[in-house]
A = this chain, B = another copy of it.
Amino acid sequence: MKTTAQLFKALSEPIRLRILALLTSGERCVCDLMAALNLPQSTISRHLSFLRNGGLVTGRRGGQWMYYQLSIDDNPLSQQITRWLRDELVALPQSQEDQQALTAYLATKDKKACGRKAPGHQ
């Protein structure tokens, strides 16, 4: 019961929903999310840690980067939620704007390496 409440709490914040919507299109690193949502790094990381605790995303380290993706869980609630993320959440106007911003950013990324001067990564 408490675990379930925690899962819903992870979903109860607009920025976290926006992050989840972005992750439906694939694994992303923190800097991608910063760029797409135009929010400070500490804000993104804090929300990601909340999502991790709620079991909604998992991260893997790849070099200096942390890549996050939607976590696939086998309980019915997680599966219903995942379906909802992919079918409904992504259709909201805000999600689509964010996805466009992400796409635009990714298009220039190899020149910028997360907005700075190093070579691109993936």
A87 to chain B: closest residue by CB: B76
* A86→B14 CA distance, assembly (Å): 27
A92 contacts across to B, CB distance below 8 A: 1, 4
* A14→B76 CA distance, assembly (Å): 19
Copies in the complex: 2
- Name the one of B5, B17, B80, B87 contacting A84, with C-beta atoms under 8 angstroms: B80
Q: With A2-B14, A5-B13, A17-B1 in contact, do A88 and B77 touch (Cβ < 8 Å)?
A: yes
Range of interface residues on chain A? Answer: 20 to 34
A18 in contact (CB, < 8 A): yes
A8 contacts across to B, CB distance below 8 A: 8-9, 11-12
- Name the one of B1, B12, B83, B87 contacting A18, with C-beta atoms under 8 angstroms: B1
* A77→B91 CA distance, assembly (Å): 13
Q: Is the CB of B4 within 8 A of A89?
A: yes
